[in-house]
Chain A
Amino acid sequence: DGGITQSPKYLFRKEGQNVTLSCEQNLNHDAMYWYRQDPGQGLRLIYYSQIVNDFQKGDIAEGYSVSREKKESFPLTVTSAQKNPTAFYLCASSSVVRTGREKLFFGSGTQLSVL
């Protein structure tokens, strides 16, 4: 079945450590996104990519980094510069980003906590 796979489901970060969240899709989608979800808040965009080897910052990119070396993969690194990383992270994709009408497909998320 086609879909988006996020791993791991739970992740713990120590102080000063970088951690990487995995996101893989087999939907053949061009666009991929990372969102952060905090309790009681909507989803906030961290980074997005419309094509391989290209990505743009979202609203809360500070302390995060991404890469897009393959169409299927869009890993997110939470760096030590992100002082409040505890949140639920969602990866999403869409077929084409041209008009704004495209619906998003989501993975099941990664819960990141700080030790």
Chain B
Amino acid sequence: AQKVTQAQTEISVVEKEDVTLDCVYETRDTTYYLFWYKQPPSGELVFLIRRNSFDEQNEISGRYSWNFQKSTSSFNFTITASQVVDSAVYFCALSEATSYDKVIFGPGTSLSVIP
């Protein structure tokens, strides 16, 4: 069965600290997609990144970086030099090619960046 686990419910960091948000997934498919979404206090989820199961190359985009490891079924998200604007709930999500009409979301990690 497909499942996404985000073990960290809430994280607080002081501004400029680095923070890593963990995501572990379960799937039987060989072809799948992983996503990260950000939900600021306004409520609207915003897409951050998508990776497919065949591309384990890590990615960096500005202060954000993602570490995808199939061996441990993890897709972790790191924010470098955190800022107050990074305060939000972050969701990891999984979509399988064989059930493409369903996206499974993790429970989310609430990040608070304290000035």
- Chain A positions near chain B (C-beta within 8 angstroms): 31, 35, 40-45, 48, 50, 56, 58, 88, 90, 92, 97-101, 103-109
Query: B45 contacts the other chain (Cβ, under 8 Å)?
Result: yes
User: Is there an interface contact between B47 and A104, defined as CB atoms closer than 8 Å?
Assistant: yes
Q: Is B73 an interface residue (CB 8 A)?
A: no
Number of interface residues of B (CB under 8 A): 29
Contact of B100 among A43, A99, A107 (CB under 8 A): A99
Q: Is B9 a contact partner of A40 (Cβ separation < 8 A)?
A: yes
Mask: chain B, 89-115; 1 = CB below 8 Å from A; 0 = not: 001000111011111111110000000
Interchain pairs with CB closer than 8 A, number: 64
- Whether the Cβ atoms of B105 and A43 lie closer than 8 Å is yes
A42 to B97 CA separation, bound complex (whole angstroms): 21
Q: From B29, which residue of chain A is reached at the shortest CB distance? A: A100
Q: Does the CB pair B105–A101 fall under 8 Å? A: no
- Report yes or no: A100 in contact with B95, Cβ–Cβ below 8 A: yes
User: Shortest beta-carbon distance, B52 to chain A, in Å?
Assistant: 7
Do residues B102 and A42 form an inter-chain contact, with CB atoms below 8 A? no
Separation of A35 and B47 alpha carbons in the complex (Å):
16
Given contacts A40-B108, A98-B100, 13 further A-B contacts (CB under 8 A): A40-B107, A42-B105, A42-B107, A44-B105, A45-B102, A48-B101, A97-B101, A99-B97, A100-B100, A100-B103, A101-B95, A105-B47, A108-B42
Closest to B32 in A: A100
